[in-house]
Amino acid sequence: MSFPIDIREKDGLRTLHFESNRLQGAMHIGHPAELALEYTREMMACLLLRDASRFPRSVLLIGLGAGSQAKFLYRHCPQAHLTAVEISPRVAAAAREHFELPDDAARLNIVIGDGYEYMRTTALSFDLILVDGFNEHADPGDLNTLPFYRACRARLSEQGLLAANLIGLSHNYKGGYAHIEAAFDGRAVLFPRCKSGNTIAFAATGDPVSLALDELKDRALALEARTGLALLPSISGLDNLSCCSDGRLRI
């Protein structure tokens, strides 16, 4: 892929852009492992849905961008091996050069390639798959297809969770969440829309997720104490979802 990459800095925030003003990633210069963008923080709510002592052991990131989520998981989930698939070698180089992505092949494997083709051909399995891949036109391309999400489900472990950024796709536009629901036989949930316009979907395979919202809030507080990541606002918004009408989140 060939398109302009622009690195900017303002008020202590370094940002990655494709073409004009399309924001693709951000980093607080003084705190490079923090998640600067709201939607990336919300995607980490996946860490609340499984036993933190065992999850995740293996993570796949489709789309690297500035490497924000890879850095967060690298720092706070030392038990996890991370694989990031990024279609543009220039983006991967920018993440290393400008956004302090760790150079540690033992724990963080960067694969330059197409995320759809990788999912179609890999024989590996993962506890967690994070999907956040868009081209310079903010289009997910083949990542927004039912075969792609079926391939994701096939490569998840018994602890398996999917988290997907569905900006512009969350309300069945060109598939979006409907593809995830179909691929996971309805075992999916759509969190309330972020202020940025992003909407995050979660889906599960293997062991069921059944958690009281009060327990989720306790887990959020524990994660915040350990990492500084504040997810209580996201969890509080689940009270109004139909899938949580009895005070439990089930996936």
* 30 assigned to some structural domain: no
Catalytic residue (choose from 103, 127, 132, 185): 132
In a domain, 190, yes or no: yes
Distance separating alpha carbons of residues 196 and 26, to the nearest angstrom: 14
Q: Quote the domain boundaries for residue 197.
A: 37-234
Q: What is the pLDDT of residues 195-216, one digit of tens each?
A: 877 899 999 999 899 999 999 9
In a domain, 198, yes or no: yes
Q: With a cut of 50, say whether residue 49 has pLDDT above it.
A: yes
pLDDT in the model for residue 174: 47
132 in Cβ contact with 162 (< 8 Å): no
Let me know: does 73 contact 59? Beta carbons within 8 Å.
yes
pLDDT, tens digit (0-9, with 9 covering 90-100), for 152-189: 999 999 989 999 999 754 454 445 899 999 999 999 99
17 in a structural domain: no
Based on the residue annotation, tell me whether 218 is a catalytic residue of this protein. no
Does any domain span residue 184?
A: yes
- Is residue 134 domain-resident? yes
Q: Which pLDDT tens digit goes with each residue over 118-147?
A: 999 999 999 999 999 876 556 677 899 999
Tell me, yes or no, whether 241 lies in a domain.
no
In a domain, 178, yes or no: yes
Query: Residue 113 belongs to a domain with what CATH number?
Result: 3.40.50.150
Give the C-alpha separation, 56 to 46, whole Å. 10
User: How many domains, the chain?
Assistant: 1
Q: How many Cβ atoms from other residues are within 10 Å of residue 95's Cβ?
A: 25
Q: 5 near 18, Cβ under 8 Å?
A: yes
Quick one: average pLDDT of 30-44? 94
Residue 190 CB neighbours (<10 A): 20
Cβ neighbors of 217 (< 8 A, separation 6 or more) are 232, 235, 236
CA distance 111 to 89: 9
